Structure 1
Amino acid sequence: MEKRRVVITGLGALTPIGNNINEFWKNAVSGKSGAVPITKFDTSNFKTKFACELKDFHVKEHLDRSDIKFSDLFSQYGMVTTGEALKDSGLDLASMDPYDIGVIWGTGQGGMDYFEKEVKVYAKTGIPRFSPMLGPKMLINMGAGMISLKYGLKGMSFTTSSACATSNTAIMDAYTYIKLGKAKVFVTGGSEAGIIEMGIGGFNSMRALSVNNEHPEQASRPFDVNRDGFVLGEGAGTLILEDYDHAKKRGAKIYAEIVGAAMTSDAYHVAASHPEGEGASKAMEFALNEAGIKPDEVDYLNAHATSTPIGDISEINAIRRLFGENPENLKITSSKSMTGHLLGAAGAVESILCIKAIETGIITPTINTADIDPVIPKTINIVTGQSVQSNVDVAITNSFGFGGHNATLVFKKWEE
């Protein structure tokens, strides 16, 4: 069976540092922090009082009443970014067979925002008058379902969930199914609306979140010796993946090609990654092997690095295992220093930064990292402070999730 080439023809973003692709990219290039004091609920009793919230985002400006009525925030975020990405792609949905376009979406927590609200009402009243929309709004598959409904997309549709590796998993599935001829186009990516009391409280109990309440904008500091945990974020990212022949026939703009993807499992711990980065290294290795690309041909790596003491070093160890102690050409960043950790949406948003790096030759920085952990070799090139100009032919992005899920994607500059 002939394996088709898969290209990216549309992008959409909703992030703590920008409510569309242009805003997001501009603020990422300038190194803007999205961390602010939480406004969604009273944080008086919480150890962490800040997060990377969306700014000046009003869903009523983007969706109609019925879209909002039948969906949780995470689905709404996905519908908004998909609208942007479809417009960016130039696809004429009216002229296409709707069964040629599928949706493979990702979310880690799904409709927990609405679930929490309903449970709080029940706890207060003791009366089980749950909304009839509780089921549809909280189910994780409804991200894909609502996107399909809104845009009339009738191809393959489902949701993946692999914790913080979720978006990469969704994108990998879309890539694989196009290669196999299951669809000509996929809407893919992920969304998360996890800045809720259970989210902050739960991660606080795990001692996973930063508690730098005095300087929240500086709290996410991947690879820094003083890092003390991640900063929770929210938002969504959408990629339009398309069969190359289909894209070429309609004269589409092509941002980049996706040429490799792989997943592995650590089988090590419920929450912690393997300390030597064994599984993560293999995910990168397998993805590059599929792409036919050698490690020394990779120009840019957008790291999972969340700013946790254990996780960041685990990933550095994975990089060392595959790329060696002195990867001369490899530039590494963690965009979570700006956006916070978007959980199930992280991989999609970070894939967009890889694609934009290929398109523009600009690598966005790791901000707040002033004193790199001394256990990290000085030969590992972590881009800190400011963006850098650098030709990027090949970029990879890592996402790792609770349960030991490791997922890597490989993007390449488009060539005929």
Structure 2
Amino acid sequence: MSSTNRTVVVTGIGATTPLGGDTASTWEGLLAGRSGVRPLEGERFAELPVRIAAPAAVDPGEVLPRPLARKLDRSAQFALIAAKEAWADAGFTAPAGDEAGIAPERLGTVIASGIGGVTTLLDQYDVLKEKGVRRVSPHTVPMLMPNGPSANVGLEVNARAGVHTPVSACASGAEAIGYAVEMIRTGRADVVVAGGTEAAIHPLPIAAFANMMAMSKNNDHPEHASRPYDKGRDGFVLGEGAGVVILESAEHAAKRGARVYCEVLGQGLSADSHHIAQPEPTGRGVAAAVQNLLDSTDLKPAEVVHLNAHATSTPQGDIAEIKALRKVLGDDLDHVAISATKSMTGHLLGGAGGIETVATVLALYHRLAPPTINIEELDDEVDPALVSSEVRKLPEGSISAINNSFGFGGHNVVLAFRSV
């Protein structure tokens, strides 16, 4: 089947995050404005300049069978947990095949990670140094591969249409979902399991980010450290977890009587070509991605009533994103309920686009925009009407929402969704 006009819908969602071990608890935490950031305990974190993070609320080792968990990097563990929840939420009771009602050749996976199995790599290097060659795990290479999460999810659901892993830093999860949409639209697949995952809470990545001056050092007040748009923001807080959606052609979903959360309108892509790590200060690249989205869909600026912002809580990035939105959507953004959910979850790097897509889908489905917490003194360059500091009810009727994700390297990915 070949087409470029197939309608793509979301039929299942799954998540494991700093706010909860599943979608329901994560959504409840977002609406409650609860922070998942806490102090990091243990000797290996004691001397770091940053000693806070947003670890997963439920350790994956408590969910997965121990023999399986031992063969998976933590990032793959999160991805598998979120994917299994999403698969069941979509109404599938078995891997692809006759019992599931979908041929394996029509099912794909696109699960991204910005860093991959970094904790496996670093931990096994410690084993090599301290215990010798023979003690290094034979599972190390499959565990540290960035495509490991997607491959293991593909094995779980018996996906044969393609198993992919786009890597674009903190835009990876969103780019994975955009790639999955194209797989369905071009006829390569009828169903794709897509999202992002990350597990990089380790002394080395934290020390490196801290030395870049990218992370908040508000160690004494962890729950208030992630504060997008606040004058006192001083960097992001590292989080971990995964967010996964089941994407499906509308025709396939209708044939099996699936519940539909929303329609995926499309994606907009661009590159800053400015700096390997710093955002382009005027928002030029972000604006180009949003404009690309509008040009490639029938979405009008006035139809956007909700936006899940990238808003990592960095001094430059937050303002560049606001400038870009004003350039493309217009100076008057009073009708857009902007949620910066990283204020609660921290920044999940390559997993951010996955979990924030889940949040955006649920916002449309329940017509509720989560709050942005920790804004004590709003930045002068941010209009108060742009930021949802409490749960905001979204309008009835047909409404649309955008999810922004940007990454080191100048990657910009913007996804759009419409209610059904």
TM-score by shorter chain over 0.5: yes
Secondary structure, aligned partner of 1:241 = strand
Offset at 1:211? 0.6
Which of 342, 347, 355 aligns to 2:361? It is: 355
Q: Is contact 2:227–2:373 with CA below 8 Å preserved after alignment?
A: yes
Following the alignment from structure 2 to structure 1, what is the Cα–Cα distance between the partners of residues 42 and 72?
18
Please, which runs of 5 or more residues in structure 1 have no aligned partner? none
Report whether the alignment pairs 1:317 with 2:319.
no
> In the alignment, which of 241, 245, 248 is matched to residue 242 of structure 1?
248
Deviation per CA, 1:209-244: give whole Å up to 9, x if none.
101111100000001000011000000001000011
CA offset digits 1:268-320 (Å, max 9, x no partner):
00101110000101111111222211112100111101000111111111111
Q: Using the alignment, how far apart are the partners of 1:165 and 1:41 within structure 2?
A: 32
Task: Give the 3 Å change call, closer, same or farther, for CA 41–185 of structure 1 in structure 2.
Answer: farther
Kindly provide the CA deviation profile for residues 151-210 of structure 1, in whole angstroms up to 9, marking residues without a partner as x.
222221111110000011000000011011100000000110010111111111111110
Instruction: Provide the rounded CA distance (Å) in 1 between the counterparts of 2:69 and 2:287.
Output: 41
CA contact (8 A) 2:60 2:78 kept: no
Moved more, 123-132 or 204-213: 123-132
Greater alpha carbon shift after TM alignment, 178-187 vs 90-99 = 90-99
Separation of aligned partners in 2, 1:303 and 1:40: 33
Secondary structure of 1:299's aligned partner: strand
Contact 1:365 1:388 in 2 (8 A): yes
Q: Is the 8 A contact 1:302 1:332 kept in 2?
A: yes
Q: Percent identity?
A: 37
What is the CA–CA distance in structure 2 between the aligned matches of 1:318 and 1:137, rounded to whole Å? 38
| Alignment partner of 1:411 is 2:413 | no
Counterpart position of 1:328: 334
Taking the aligned partners of 2:383 and 2:160, their CA distance within structure 1 comes to 50
In the alignment, what sits opposite 1:25? 27
Q: Which residue of 1 aligns with 2:10?
A: 8
Within 5 A, what are the aligned runs for 1:263-278? Answer: 263-278=269-284
Deviation at 1:43, TM superposition (A): 1.7
Distance 1:259 1:69 in 2: 39
> Which of 201, 211, 214 is residue 208 of structure 1 equivalent to?
214
Instruction: Please say if 1:82 is aligned against 2:100.
Output: no
| Contact 1:9–1:89 (CA under 8 A) maintained in structure 2 | yes
Matched, 1:256 2:262: yes
Q: 1:381 aligns with which of 367, 383, 386?
A: 386
Tell whether the 8 Å contact from 1:99 to 1:155 is kept in structure 2 after alignment.
Answer: yes
Aligned to 1:399: 405
Letter in 2 for 1:82: A
Question: Secondary structure of the residue that 2:44 maps to in structure 1?
Answer: coil
- Separation in 2, partners of 1:168, 1:96: 25
Tell me if the contact between 2:14 and 2:86 (Cα under 8 Å) persists in the aligned partners.
yes
Aligned residue for 1:157, secondary structure, equals strand
SS in 1 for 2:79: helix
Instruction: Name the structure 2 match of 1:302.
Output: 308
Q: Give the partner amino acid of 1:77.
A: F
Cα shift at 1:128: 7.3
Q: Distance between the aligned counterparts of 2:225 and 2:47, measured in 1?
A: 19
Task: Give the equivalent residue in structure 1 for 2:47.
Answer: 45
Once the two structures are TM-superposed, the CA of residue 91 in structure 1 deviates from its matched residue by: 2.3
Runs (4+) of structure 1 exceeding 4 A deviation are 125-129
Q: Where does residue 178 of structure 1 map in the other structure?
A: 184
Question: Of residues 98, 122, 127 in structure 1, which corresponds to 2:128?
Answer: 122
Conservation of the 8 A alpha-carbon contact between 1:299 and 1:329 = yes
Shift in Å, 1:323: 1.8
Q: TM-score, normalised by structure 1?
A: 0.96
Residue 74 (structure 2) aligns with: 73
**C-alpha separation between the residues in 2 aligned to 1:211 and 1:38?**
12
1:381-414 Cα deviation digits (max 9, x unpaired): 2111x21212271000100000000000000012
Instruction: Measure, in 1, the Cα distance between the counterparts of 2:186 and 2:110.
Output: 15
Contact 1:325 1:377 (8 Å CA) reproduced? no
Q: Does structure 1 conserve the Cα–Cα contact (< 8 Å) formed by 2:283 and 2:323?
A: yes
| Matched residue SS, 1:17 | coil
Tell whether the 8 Å contact from 1:4 to 1:178 is kept in structure 2 after alignment.
yes
Q: Report the secondary structure of 1:110's partner residue.
A: coil
Q: Separation in 2 of the partners of 1:394 and 1:191?
A: 25
Instruction: Give the SS at the match of 2:47.
Output: coil
Residue pair 2:60, 2:77 contacting (<8 A) in 1 also: no
2: CA distance between counterparts of 1:281 and 1:14?
A: 31
Aligned length: 411
Tell whether the 8 Å contact from 1:288 to 1:410 is kept in structure 2 after alignment: no
